[in-house]
Amino acid sequence: MRHEYRIEHIDQGFAVYDRWGVRIDVYKTEDDARKEVDEWKHEDDMRETAKHLVDIAVKTLMRVHNADSATARCWILNAAETLRDSELVS
């Protein structure tokens, strides 16, 4: 589900709220607030894509190796951590 944000003018500048009405931050200009919201929306989209790709990877591992969901998720997480750790060494 795409995360929605709302920008509201207040005395201190422009407040950004999430879809539950929680104030996230306040910016001096509306343009600054919009730029930040655009970045958050992009990050939200990337997170959703990554979740979808992990779901595909887990289901594929389950099918190829006849593994249960928990085992497949464990191996996918392990592989992701190994990739991250090897990038830190490089």
Domains of the chain: which residue ranges?
Answer: 5-89
Q: What is the pLDDT of residues 11-42, one digit of tens each?
A: 999 999 998 999 999 999 999 999 999 999 99
pLDDT at 29: 97
pLDDT at 15: 97
Q: Between β-strands 23-27 and 13-18, what pairing exists: parallel, antiparallel or unpaired?
A: antiparallel
What pTM, to 2 d.p., does this model score? 0.74
- Whether the per-residue pLDDT at 65 is higher than 70: the answer is yes
Q: What is the mean pLDDT of residues 69-86?
A: 92
